[in-house]
Structure 1
Amino acid sequence: MTLLWINGPFGGGKTQTAHELRRRLPGSVVCDPEHVGFGLHRTLPPALRGDFQDLAAWRHGVHEVLDLALREHTGGPVIVPMTLVEPAYFEEVVGRLREAHGADRVRHFALLAERETVLKRLTERGLGRGLKRESFAVARLDLCLERLGGPEFAHHIRTDRLTVPQVADEVARTAGLRLVPNTDGAARHRLRRLRVGLAHLRFD
């Protein structure tokens, strides 16, 4: 079994790419580590809810569930859309998975783009409130782009001039996976992106 970790800045296209891969890789599943973080946040008083990645419970929990998925899932690849830019945390989760399962089975991709490109995408997903709704993502953008550009976060994919299906094609090609052909027209592609975006809106 193969794990595809799709990294990138907030607003960089991770979730859209992950679901495009799931759609075109029969038997694949999306395992989103954010849900572990949301659960931890909900067990804490609001005043204590910082960055859940700083909690050892999040890092250990994500490693445990992804390790289980790699060992027990019998379908297609396990796809993980998650921004993770702290090198020590990256090693604690992705590094340990690679040690246990091999670098050929745990593949990492950083989706990168120019700052202006990411800001435009964040504005588009801001539901009419623009970047105001995406203040956390904007505040972290420069750090994310700087960190993810480092060699420890390769393989890098520049997405400025790529569509979501094209990014998925590049991930699959690099990982040696064969995707089902993309037959979406422009209108269906927009509707599919809208559905994925709406399904992943957060209100807490």
Structure 2
Amino acid sequence: MKILYISSSVRSEQSLTNKLANEFIAKLQTRFPESVVVSRDLGDHPVKGPDLQWTQSNTIPDLDKSSHDWDVLAQSDALIEEIVSADRVVISAPMYNFSVPWTLKCYIDNIVRNERTFTIDPVEGFKPKLSADKKLVLITSSAGSYESGTPMEAYDFCTPYIRSVFGFMGLTDFHAVSAVNQWASEEMRNEAINEAHDALEALSVSW
């Protein structure tokens, strides 16, 4: 089994989401000792987001692409190959200003590509290209709580976005675990972290 781990926090070893994700992956490796983990640390090593040249090269049909076009898209192709070959995908992403870190957004903009991770059918419209057999878990942290049914739910552009954009590409087997209230009292912070630990412990057994 191949596990792709995508971390996006700029806080590196101090990141709560990174700590939770690393513990979760360690439990998976205990369960699947022959598994291979491919790590993509976007916090310490961000990828370049698409620019004008990237956009132009991406819209040129493959048969008409020049060697320069392929060079421009080489990073994107490598990122797509990583997720295509993965059986499990783990994303750690703290909520920044109600959304995902810019590092993760640049990564996503590199992998959502027509004829690579989705297609456009003239009758049926958009169709995913990634295998639905893949499993995705998102591990987040946030200053407050954005539970369903509360007034703050509308401010959560992190979890719904990841669920939607990866589902668009075919990864519909989705779980999200969040350590909320990290700007609250110490008691509330620790309670949320413990709940996240418990949720990931349970998921590591069945995922």
Q: Say whether the fold is shared (TM-score over 0.5).
A: no
Q: TM range, normalised to the smaller chain?
A: 0.3 to 0.5
Normalising by structure 1, we get a TM-score of 0.42
Normalising by structure 2, we get a TM-score of 0.42
Per residue, is there more strand in 1 or in 2?
2
Structure showing greater radius of gyration is: 2
Per residue, is there more helix in 1 or in 2?
1
